[in-house]
Amino acid sequence: MKKILQDLTFTETEEYILSLGEKKFRAKQLYEGLLQGKSVTAISSLSHALKERILEEYENEPIKIKHTFYSSDGTEKYLFELADGNIIEGVLMKYKYGYTQCVSTQVGCRMGCKFCASTLNGLVRNLTAGEILSQILLVNALHKDEVQGKGAQARAVTNVVLMGSGEPLDNYENVVRFLRNICSENGFGMSARNISLSTCGLVPKMYQLAEENIPLNLTVSLHATDDISRARTMPVAKAYKIADILKACEYYFEKTGRRYYFEYTLIADENCDEAHADALIKLLKGKPCHINLIRLNEVKERDLKALGDKDAYRFLGRLEKGGLSATLRRQIGVDIGGACGQLRNSYL
Ligand code: SAH
């Protein structure tokens, strides 16, 4: 595989262009073209000769949108093709305050969570920083006439969640490079506050992330209230205890001043009766956190069942009465098939 320009910082792009004996401003033209989601060949300000030279070493387009699925509620789902032919998926959710894009960080995943389709065939490979960024540049370009926000924050894709396929903290270096690049003032310039990173709870990496000085929204997939039950659906629970995850979250809060989030997928007969609600209250009451309850997206290869809506609201009500800040995530885009790796699987 050739190298990927979108992996580079602006300074690195300048160094590269200077190394070709070109003037500095060519780097700006190149970098701005890439930020607009263009392939190298489509950047009209660069000479044909320079583009040829660049393409000897670098990919013209590290990823392409292979297919878009449109939901009646406005949600869009994408299948992206990488330069090596691998397929990843993504989602764009349209809210009143802006567009939130869900991006993948790995092809497949090796965490083995029982409810998740991304992990069924294990990890294929990590995505590079530029492959993660390019998912956003492409979708942002697709919607370039729907720019929202003001000044430096004006763009179509206003929020990003690292909740697609893959475990972001299992691809730590690339993900941190991606975060620095997307937040960079001479790059895409997104505020870290508009980015959420979801992890199954890789404790040492959570501490490491707290030191990076990137004030994003840290979200942990909890899905259980004790370690033994958690290990039934999440093998990672054998390596890291809930108590240690909570300590790492607390540390994240101390370091960044940002409250943290938990995801809790409601799985019938597994984690969502009254006793579980009470255990969750006991675990999290008084902590600077918010709980996102998620409806299970049933995966046909697994026999886990979603909780009915009435029971889901009852569970939410009990958490709220117990003093927790919690919401039940709205279900959108249901008419265009599953998410969480199901789209890619059905394609493959
Ligand atoms: N590896 C990261 C990001 C994964 S996806 C993590 O574990 O957090 C984001 C969220 O979707 C996680 O909370 C994950 O547990 C959840 N999820 C995965 N498959 C799901 C499914 N079939 N139904 C509902 N939620 C699912």
Site of tokens 């006991």: 282
CA angle 300, 301, 303 (to 5 degrees): 75
The atom number, within ligand 1, closest to the CA of 221 reads 13
Q: How far is the CA of 165 from the centre of ligand 1 (A)?
A: 8
The atom number, within ligand 1, closest to the CA of 113 reads 15
Is the beta carbon of 340 within 6 A of some atom in ligand 1?
A: yes
The atom number, within ligand 1, closest to the CA of 219 reads 8
**Is the overall model pTM greater than 0.75, yes or no?**
yes
Q: Convert the pLDDT of each residue in 232-282 to its tens digit.
A: 999 999 999 999 999 999 999 999 999 999 999 999 999 999 999 999 999
- The answer to whether 56 is a known catalytic residue is no
Q: How far is the CA of 183 from the centre of ligand 1 (A)?
A: 24
* pLDDT confidence of residue 116: 92
Q: Convert the pLDDT of each residue in 182-212 to its tens digit.
A: 999 989 999 999 999 999 999 999 999 999 9
Domains of the chain: 5-57 (1.10.150.530), 63-347 (3.20.20.70)
Q: How far is the CA of 43 from the centre of ligand 1 (A)?
A: 37
Determine whether 30 is exposed, middle or buried from the number of CB atoms within 10 Å of its CB (0-12, 13-18, 19+).
buried
State what percent of residues in the chain have pLDDT above 90.
87
pLDDT top residue among 208 and 345: 208
Which is catalytic among the residues 14, 61, 76, 89?
A: 89
Q: Convert the pLDDT of each residue in 272-287 to its tens digit.
A: 999 999 999 999 999 9
Beta 76-82 vs 63-70: how paired, if at all?
Answer: antiparallel
Q: What is the DSSP letter of 145?
A: G
- The answer to whether 116 is a known catalytic residue is no
